[in-house]
Amino acid sequence: MRTYDLVIAGAGAAGLIGAGTAAEKGLKVLLLEKMEKPARKIRISGKGRCNITNTKQHDDFLSHVYPDSRFLNPALRNFSNFKTIEFFNSLGLPTVVERGERVFPKSGKAWDVAECLVKWAKKSGVEIMCNAKVKSLNIENSKIKSVNVDFGYSEKTVEAKYFLIATGGMSYPLTGSTGDGYNFARQAGHSITDLHPSLVPLKIKNHNAQLNRLQLKNISLSLYVDGKYVDDEFGETEFNQTGMTGALALRLSRKAVGALIKKKHVELVLDLKPALSYEQLEKRIKREMETTMTNHALLRKLLPMQIIDTFAKKANIKLQNQISNTDIENISKSLKNMSFEICGFNDFNEAIITAGGISLTEIDSKTMKSKLIDNLYFAGEIINLDANTGGYNLQIAFSTARLAAQNIAIRLEKDL
């Protein structure tokens, strides 16, 4: 096998950006991917559309990053979301900005984003090997000398001057994200914070399966932990067979999952009419009573049919009864405050991102270099950084990988 300047484990968003960036600077780069093709996760991201990034300003962008957005500051300043848009446009992939300042490929196809990155990396000189699973690191004197790679037909040792781990987290394991990189990091002496699914559907206690696939728009969703308000989001949400999913629930899931792991009581509270106050709702209901006699007929004017039975139980009203003053009060309160107890969350198979990862204190944020191993770098989801939906997580991968590759190139030039 050849000796390379840089060997990268993982041909996802971070791996491809890191490989292409380094190769453009003249490095001999080998990109190892254990799946049969690169960029598997990108190809299915955003329900097949791929939310590449967004157009939030720097500080606003960082406000959506956890647990310590300051760590991302150097990488994002170096390769911002706006530079990412310019990068893809320069490669012949036009982009569009949609609601919420989210950026998508104009074609609406995540596949195009993946193919664009793969073609660019190959054109830059990257050698991409698929069905090549990194098994372990060979470390001597606080440096990685080589990696052991299973090519399926044989196992070989690959040597390099520098190594970048960009294997992703544990979300969507069928795409290859099965946590391999955490084992490599541990082998190198790194600490891994607690790992759990994030941006993940939440399970509702005693969930009514009748709500499955119900979509609610222009609503407000609030998170309460042990009875105390934590956060809220406005927009769209959706129910599935076991609970709640959709943009709002996913964004609130990070804090909800953390609370559930600590055995705390978690509730999601729907405001189905956020544009109206409680008093305005009562006045509207009283107007509707002029032509409406039963609670069921009234709720049909206020809510989607699919949620009426669940709402009636929570509001403690009988649908076939004539509307009473008590019913008016209960309906108004429940429209503004429809509570669901959250009893769990789905696993990594349905999580968009992994929360947790390699401790930020053990990585140099200005270079993405390991503070423990001199020639080891990290990028992407494997790092203990995650963010809301909306293109933030892919941008974290792009920015950290770009910074790592650029600094590896600088070091290599100094070595010559």
- Token pair in block for residue 37: 């093709």
Residues 221 and 189 in one domain: no
* Closest residue by Cα to residue 276 from 215, 339, 220, 214: 220
- Token pair in block for residue 226: 């042990």
Three-state DSSP at 148 gives strand
Residues 340 and 411 in one domain: no
Q: Please give the pLDDT value at position 291.
A: 83
Mean pLDDT for all residues in the chain: 96
Residues 261 and 400 in one domain: no
Q: Please give the pLDDT value at position 416.
A: 66
Q: What is the CATH number of the domain that holds 55?
A: 3.50.50.60
Q: What is the mean pLDDT of residues 261-286?
A: 95
pLDDT at 386 over 60: yes
Where a domain ends, among 292, 316, 345? Answer: 345
Where a domain ends, among 293, 322, 345? Answer: 345
pLDDT at 288 over 90: no
pLDDT of 117-135, one tens digit each?
999 999 999 999 999 999 9
User: Cβ distance 390 to 102 under 8 Å?
Assistant: yes
Beta bridge partners of 165: 9, 378
Q: What is the mean pLDDT of residues 145-157?
A: 95
Q: Please give the pLDDT value at position 1.
A: 57
User: Cβ distance 145 to 139 under 8 Å?
Assistant: yes
Helix axes 110-124, 13-24, angle to 10 degrees: 30
Residues 339 and 312 in one domain: yes
Q: Please give the pLDDT value at position 412.
A: 95
215: containing domain: 202-345
Q: CB neighbours (10 Å) of residue 131? A: 14
Residues 132 and 35 in one domain: yes
Q: Is the dihedral of CA 334, 336, 340, 341 positive or negative?
A: negative
Residues 263 and 136 in one domain: no
Residues 73 and 213 in one domain: no
Q: What is the mean pLDDT of residues 163-181?
A: 94
Q: What is the mean pLDDT of residues 231-248?
A: 96
Where a domain ends, among 298, 314, 345? Answer: 345
pTM metric for this prediction: 0.94
Q: Is the dihedral of CA 346, 195, 391, 100 positive or negative?
A: positive
Q: What is the mean pLDDT of residues 3-24?
A: 97
pLDDT at 73 over 60: yes
Task: Please give the single-letter amino acid code of residue 191.
Answer: S
Residues 44 and 105 in one domain: yes
pLDDT at 251 over 60: yes
Q: What domain count does the chain have?
A: 2
CB-count burial class (<10 Å; 0-12, 13-18, 19+) for 215: exposed
Residues 291 and 227 in one domain: yes
Three-state DSSP at 356 gives coil
Percentage of residues in the chain having pLDDT higher than 90:
95
Residues 190 and 296 in one domain: no
Percentage of residues in the chain having pLDDT higher than 70:
99
Q: What is the mean pLDDT of residues 312-328?
A: 94
Residues 49 and 140 in one domain: yes
pLDDT of 222-231, one tens digit each?
999 999 999 9
Residues 219 and 190 in one domain: no
Q: Please give the pLDDT value at position 293.
A: 80
